[in-house]
Amino acid sequence: MTKEIATFAGGCFWCMVKPFDQMDGIDEVVSGYTGGHVENPTYEQVCSETTGHLEAVQITFDSDIFPYKKLVELYWTLIDPTDPGGQFFDRGESYTTAIFYHSEEQRVVAEESKKQLEQSGKFTKPIAVKILPAKPFYPAEDYHQQYYKKNPLHYERYSIGSGRAAFINQHWGNQHE
C-alpha cells in the first residue's frame, strides 16, 4: 500500500471532487486553496483575487490501486485544458487550472501527459494548464467539502449551468455520470 498526495486545480472545486471520490484507491478528496501567498485564506479572500490562490482538490490515494498517471488522465477529462482565464463561467485567477506536483516523478508524469494531450490533436488551442511545484494546501470551509453529496440538486444545476457538463460530454463523452 503506497499512499500519495496529488493536487489539481480545475476551476470550481465542487466539480472536481465527485469524479475522483468515486474511484477505487482514492482515500480522500479535500477541497481547498493552494498556490498563493496568504496563509489560511477564506473563500471570500480567494474570490477577491488578491491571495494568489487557486481553488483546488487534494487527493490522498493508493498508487498501487490508482496510479498517479491515471489521476492525471482523469483530471484532463474534467476541465477545459485550453482556457487560461478560468473554467467555464467561473472567471479569474482563482479558477484557473494547474497540476501541482509533489515529487519529481509526478512532475515527469504530468509533463509527459500534457505533451501527449497537446500532440493528440484533440484541441486546436494550446493546452493552458500550468504544472507547478506543490505549495501549502489549505482546506476550504466545511460547507465546501463533499458538496456534491451535501447539495446534490444544486451541484447538478451548477455543473450543467456552468457549461462544464456539456463541454465534458462533447469532448470526452459522458463517462463521469
- DSSP labels, 38-50: SSS--HHHHHTT-
Query: 69 near 14, Cβ under 8 Å?
Result: no
Place of cell 467539502: 145
Distance (Å) of CA 61 to CA 82, 115, 127, 145: 27, 24, 26, 17
The pTM of the full predicted model, rounded to 2 decimals, is 0.94
What is the CATH code of the structural domain delimited by 3-172?
A: 3.30.1060.10
Residue carrying C-alpha cell 477577491? 48
pLDDT at site 2: 86
Task: Tell me what pLDDT residue 72 has.
Answer: 98
Residue 128 pLDDT: 97
Give the model's pLDDT for residue 172. 86
The separation between the first and the last C-alpha atoms of the chain, rounded to the nearest angstrom, is 29
| 113 burial level (CB within 10 Å; 0-12, 13-18, 19+) | buried
**CA 36 centroid distance within chain:** 16
- What is the per-residue pLDDT for 175? 55
Distance of CA 147 to the CA centre of its chain: 15
Q: Among 12, 15, 71, 74, which one carries the catalytic annotation?
A: 12
pLDDT for 177 equals 47
Q: In this structure, are residues 13 and 76 in contact, taking their beta carbons and an 8 Å threshold? A: no
User: Per-residue confidence of the chain (177 residues) as pLDDT tens digits?
Assistant: 789 999 999 999 999 999 999 899 999 999 999 999 999 999 999 999 999 999 999 999 999 999 999 999 999 999 999 999 999 999 999 999 999 999 999 999 999 999 999 999 999 999 999 999 999 999 999 999 999 999 999 999 998 999 999 999 998 886 554
> 12 catalytic, yes or no?
yes
The pLDDT, as a whole number, for residue 85 is: 96
SS3 26: strand
DSSP state of 82: T
